[in-house]
Chain A
Amino acid sequence: DAGVTQSPTHLIKTRGQQVTLRCSPKSGHDTVSWYQQALGQGPQFIFQYYEEEERQRGNFPDRFSGHQFPNYSSELNVNALLLGDSALYLCASSFRGTGELFFGEGSRLTVL
């Protein structure tokens, strides 16, 4: 049973560029949440997708957007990258937004 998978695992971008991160939820899960984790900090909630719609959003600017596909996989897009966007981006899945969150290993983004 595959858990949550994320790609790419590492990537380097320059300021002003755009990035797309991908996530496949755990088998049987239909809800995907995205978190940003800066070095030494706890994960910060970005948004959650369920039934291909954004259901909840944290305190992140519109540069952060997402999408959920019919197969429940999800993408996180960040436009106009800033140095401060350098972080580990975590995807977590659950069933109907309840119960235990299952996290992926994350995508490490470095913005130069």
Chain B
Amino acid sequence: LAKTTQPISMDSYEGQEVNITCSHNNIATNDYITWYQQFPSQGPRFIIQGYKTKVTNEVASLFIPADRKSSTLSLPRVSLSDTAVYYCLVGGYGGATNKLIFGTGTLLAVQP
């Protein structure tokens, strides 16, 4: 299973765009890239998933370069409520959810 590396923490201000990059050099051909958000004492919440190029939904965008060795989660115009830990996961053959590996995540702190 591919290991991921992401910054331990990031700081931002309300209204800014935040980009969190994740490295996954050993990603396999069938692996998907998935991002989850977690607030203290709550379970993680799915944000977005992609395989290649760009994926966008109502809360975020996911950019994946052609070599797929990294990915960037983009959060437009963050607010205080976006303060959370963000996890980048790689795996899940064909999008399967079994045995997904969470790293230590990126703690995003949004200030007023």
By a beta-carbon cutoff of 8 Å, the part of chain A in contact with chain B is 4, 31, 33, 35, 40-45, 48, 55-56, 58, 88, 90, 92, 94, 97-106, 108
B21 CB to closest chain A CB, in angstroms? 17
B42 CB to closest chain A CB, in angstroms? 6
Residues of B contacting A: mostly: loop
CB < 8 Å neighbour of B43 from A44, A58, A99, A106 = A106
Contact between A92 and B97, CB atoms less than 8 A apart: yes
Contact between A88 and B41, CB atoms less than 8 A apart: yes
Given known A4-B43, A92-B97, A99-B97, contact A43–B102 (CB-CB < 8 A): yes
How far is B92's CA from A105's CA once the two chains are assembled, in angstroms?
Answer: 23
CB < 8 Å neighbour of A42 from B96, B97, B104 = B104
Given known A88-B41, A103-B45, contact A42–B103 (CB-CB < 8 A): yes
Contact between A45 and B101, CB atoms less than 8 A apart: yes
Complex interface: chain A residues within 8 A of B99 (CB): 45, 48, 56, 58
